[in-house]
Amino acid sequence: MRELALHLLDIAENSVAAGAKTIRIEIVEDSRADRLQMKISDDGKGMSEEMVQKVIDPFITSRTTRKVGLGLPLLKEAAEQCNGSLRISSKAGEGTEVTVDFQRSHIDRMPLGDLATTFLNLLIANPSVHFIFTYRVDQETFYLDDSSIKNELQGVSLTEPVVLTFLRNLFESGINNVRVAA
């Protein structure tokens, strides 16, 4: 994967597959500390301690469609090459949290990519999942809890063209405003 947004998408899709009802995605860029941190947490089925230890192995996966799982191992390697780390905490029956940290200015750090499209795709592909998105650069923050939007829509599909346009504009303007203000 060539951008971090695709890693976020992959991890969030794993959360959906694990039965998560709520998924939180938080991205924090701290220019003073020269760090970029991404955290994805869910309330899905979680993993045993043994599986948490194995999950970084590319030849271990819970998927039945293929025998390898490269997402987390590649993300871990990318973080470590940029003076960072990847941590996973999980408890069976309670959920999982994946935290990845990078040196923000590292020349080899892959770009964040298209966060707006990633967030939008997750939201419309999984309407029954409660998503909470946070993107912060220094002191500027874009925060979206999708429950207020879903409540306001009163059953109107997220895929209605006018709703899609609104959501895309909301994500793009929120993310861009944070980047510009910071």
pLDDT, one tens digit per residue, over 39-72 is: 999 999 999 988 888 887 766 555 444 444 568 8
Judged against a pLDDT cut of 70, whether residue 158 lies above it is answered with yes
Whichever domain contains 100, its CATH number is 3.30.565
pTM of the complete model:
0.91
Judged against a pLDDT cut of 60, whether residue 131 lies above it is answered with yes
Tell me the pLDDT of the chain averaged across its residues.
91
Number of domains in the chain: 1
Angle, vertex CA 145, rays to CA 178 and CA 129, nearest 5? 130
Q: Look at the chain and count its residues.
A: 182
pLDDT in tens, 94-113: 999 999 999 999 999 999 99
Bigger pLDDT: 155 vs 32 = 32
Q: Which domain holds residue 97?
A: 4-181
119 confidence band (pLDDT: 50, 70, 90):
very high
**What's the distance, CA 110 to chain centroid?**
15
Bigger pLDDT: 140 vs 50 = 140
